[in-house]
Amino acid sequence: MELLTISKAAKKLGVHPNSLRNWEKRGLIKPVRLPGGQRRYSMDELNRLLQSGQLTDGQEAVVLYARVSTKKQADAGNLNRQIERLRQYARENGFTIRAEFTDVASGLNQKRRGLANVLKLAEQGEYKKLIIEYPDRLARFGYEYIERHLRYCGVEIIAIAEKEPEDVNS
């Protein structure tokens, strides 16, 4: 019986290795443990998991993230309109929304709870796509670093618009 490492098993399933760890905690998959504690997965176990239908309902899970800079913008409804546009995009593209996160903070602020949760779920392998409205909603500076980290976690960023309009009161 061929046993695969966690990274090879994850690659076969098209998921992040953290997904396998989470599925093990939930009792969805049982790895073989080597004497040193490393996980190994049999092809039989991977096939059983795939055929069980427990992993997906056919729709891809996504996370939505919206941000405005000020409370005044949030009070004017900008944050609500932004998240609604993201929901609509997800619905139109057949995605299942795994979670929604918002922040009312500067794009320069590094202590944003919503963004921290986006990164945490990515690191746990809980989703494959992050939907944002504009790249600068994620970060004013350092977007490439966040994008690189998310890509390492197996997450693709989808910006539904390339450039923010001059009138940001939309």
Active site residues: 69
Nearest to 131 by CA among 102, 170, 165: 102
Give the separation between CA 59 and CA 91, rounded to whole angstroms: 10
Distance of CA 98 to the CA centre of its chain: 8
Retrieve residue 151's tokens.
């890509």
Nearest to 102 by CA among 73, 82, 85: 82
Distances (CA, A) of 88 to 17, 29, 92: 30, 34, 6
Give the separation between CA 90 and CA 73, rounded to whole angstroms: 23
